């Protein structure tokens, strides 16, 4: 099964929908991190919902969802680009036992920030308090508070995959009843069905009596975007003396990407070369 998203629209009602399933890419995102189960699940669901939102990007750039809380989940971020490559990472208190803890337990006094960053142009950011019993409810709350768009979201995951379904009113939505009607139909799906049945069959089961306009099916990938050059760029935050000291002690400077955990090693020569290139490029 490939990771993909189905986009569709109910022209008659003025409501759009999306269904996403992630497996390989979400496994890759959490690989090596050894997250507690509750955080592992939350990160996968955040990736699914971030991908659902990313399809609305009308320009080159990326959209991210970030949670920050005073609970044991310190920070969680997922970033998805216009070409539907995504990455995500969570930081959490490693000293506590997470068994039996829920979304609410680990996200005390939290806030959610959704940021849209075009490659060119102004970035947009919306911040709301983190409310609800789960991530789906929090995202619905975000749309209610900041975008005023009627939105309903379902998110489920198991060990192997994550499922997301979104219904969202367009500005020309016919009426509230039609939205409630589609929500009612969608609520008939069980979590087990969502995780075991393919998207085409699920969509047929739900909406075969509606006139549904299938817009596209797009593949989704894990894509970190880190590189040796970007890592070297980030070294500007460390002084020459500190770098020299590390290389003198260890023979090289090692850096690990906090998202994908790939590691990069740089020699004294690598760093000097990069800095001289950097110097040249800023002069011109």
Query: Residue numbers of the site for Zn ion (CB under 5 A)?
Result: 224, 226, 257, 259-260
Kindly state the smallest distance separating residue 197's Cβ from Zn ion, in Å. 33
Contact between 106 and 98 under an 8 Å Cβ cutoff? The reply is yes
Kindly state the smallest distance separating residue 224's Cβ from Zn ion, in Å. 3
Nearer to Zn ion, 76 or 202 (CB): 76
Nearer to Zn ion, 38 or 224 (CB): 224
Nearer to Zn ion, 64 or 69 (CB): 64
Nearer to Zn ion, 143 or 259 (CB): 259
Angle between helices 240-250 and 268-283 (to 10 degrees): 160
Kindly state the smallest distance separating residue 262's Cβ from Zn ion, in Å. 5
Distance spanning both ends of the chain, measured CA to CA: 49
Nearer to Zn ion, 46 or 226 (CB): 226
Nearer to Zn ion, 10 or 86 (CB): 86
Nearer to Zn ion, 15 or 226 (CB): 226
136 Cβ contact partners less than 8 Å away, ≥ 6 residues apart: 45, 49, 153, 154, 155
Q: CA–CA separation, 86 vs 82, rounded Å? A: 9
Kindly state the smallest distance separating residue 259's Cβ from Zn ion, in Å. 5
Nearer to Zn ion, 43 or 224 (CB): 224
State both tokens at 203: 């969509």
Kindly state the smallest distance separating residue 256's Cβ from Zn ion, in Å. 9
CA distances from 180 to 14, 67, 166, 176, 201 (A): 13, 29, 13, 6, 22
Kindly state the smallest distance separating residue 33's Cβ from Zn ion, in Å. 12
Kindly state the smallest distance separating residue 23's Cβ from Zn ion, in Å. 20
Contact between 51 and 200 under an 8 Å Cβ cutoff? The reply is no
Contact between 44 and 38 under an 8 Å Cβ cutoff? The reply is no
Kindly state the smallest distance separating residue 28's Cβ from Zn ion, in Å. 11
């Amino acid at each position: 099964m490939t990771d993909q998203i189905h986009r569709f629209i109910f022209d008659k009602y003025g409501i759009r929908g999306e269904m996403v399933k992630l497996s390989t890419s979400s496994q890759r995102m959490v690989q090596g991190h050894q997250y507690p189960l509750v955080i592992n699940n939350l990160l996968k669901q955040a990736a699914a919902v971030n991908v659902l939102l990313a399809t609305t990007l009308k320009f080159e750039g990326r959209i991210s969802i970030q949670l920050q809380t005073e609970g044991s989940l310190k920070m969680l971020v997922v970033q998805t680009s216009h070409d539907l490559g995504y990455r995500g990472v969570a930081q959490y208190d490693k000293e506590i036992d997470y068994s039996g803890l829920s979304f609410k337990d680990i996200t005390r006094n939290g806030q959610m920030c959704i940021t849209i960053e075009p490659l060119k142009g102004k970035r947009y950011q919306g911040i709301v308090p983190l409310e609800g019993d789960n991530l789906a409810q929090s995202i619905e709350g975000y749309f209610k508070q900041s975008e005023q768009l009627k939105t309903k979201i379902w998110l489920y995951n198991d060990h192997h995959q994550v499922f997301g379904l979104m219904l969202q009113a367009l500005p020309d939505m016919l009426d509230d009843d039609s939205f409630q009607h589609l929500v009612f139909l969608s609520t008939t799906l069980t979590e087990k069905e969502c995780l075991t049945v393919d998207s085409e069959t699920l969509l047929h089961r739900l909406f075969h009596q509606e006139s549904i306009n299938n817009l596209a099916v797009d593949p989704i990938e894990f894509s970190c975007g880190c590189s040796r050059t970007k890592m070297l760029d980030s070294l500007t935050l460390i002084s020459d003396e500190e770098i020299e000291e590390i290389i003198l002690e260890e023979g090289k400077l090692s850096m690990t990407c906090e998202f994908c955990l790939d590691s990069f090693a740089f020699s004294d020569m690598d760093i000097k070369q990069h800095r001289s290139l950097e110097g040249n490029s800023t002069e011109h």
